Amino acid sequence: MKTFFLGILTWWNSATWGTFWWTWTNGELVGTDSQGNRYYRTHGGKVEKDFQFERRWVIYNGLAEPSRVGPDWHGWLHHTVDTPPTEDNYKRRDWEKPHRPNYTGTPSAWRPRGSTLASGKRPQATGDYKAWSPND
């Protein structure tokens, strides 16, 4: 029963029942990435009259985390390229890097030099900063 209500009311656990229904009635599976995310478009690439282009969407495998979409699928989802990565004539660009997860909020997050989270200690002040004072 809990799973049923979570499917109706939450969008961050993959997709809602409404999204599954829309996908079942109007969607065409284009492909799946290495993480199990499934990518869809409107049947036959039909152009939506309200949007002036075909609608494209993803149903995440598990938690709905947009940073889990790789650069190849990201380009297709956002209409940057028209060829999905599953087609034979798709060419990967030189600037496309392999997918890396979003590490924000985790111990693996990037900590710049001088961050108290990087070393646990604030670096010594260099003397190049003068605090503002209203009397100056």
pLDDT in tens, 17-65: 778 888 899 899 999 988 899 999 998 877 777 777 889 999 988 888 8
- In this prediction, residue 57 carries a pLDDT of 92
**H helices then E strands: how many in the chain?**
4, 5
Phi, psi dihedrals of residue 42, rounded to the nearest 5° = -65, 150
Assessment of whether the complete model's pTM goes beyond 0.75: no
Please give the C-alpha separations between residue 108 and each of 65, 100, 105, 115, in angstroms, as whole numbers.
17, 12, 8, 14
Distance CA 18, CA 41 (A): 16
Contact status, residue 14 vs residue 62, Cβ threshold 8 Å: yes
Question: Which position has the higher pLDDT, 6 or 102?
Answer: 102
Residue 71, token pair as written in the block? 């650069």
Predicted confidence band of residue 120 (pLDDT cuts 50, 70, 90):
low
Q: What is the mean pLDDT of residues 110-118?
A: 76
Residue 99, token pair as written in the block? 């997918």
- In this prediction, residue 13 carries a pLDDT of 65
By the 10 Å C-beta count (0-12 exposed, 13-18 middle, 19+ buried), 39 is classed as buried
What SS3 class is residue 29?
Answer: strand
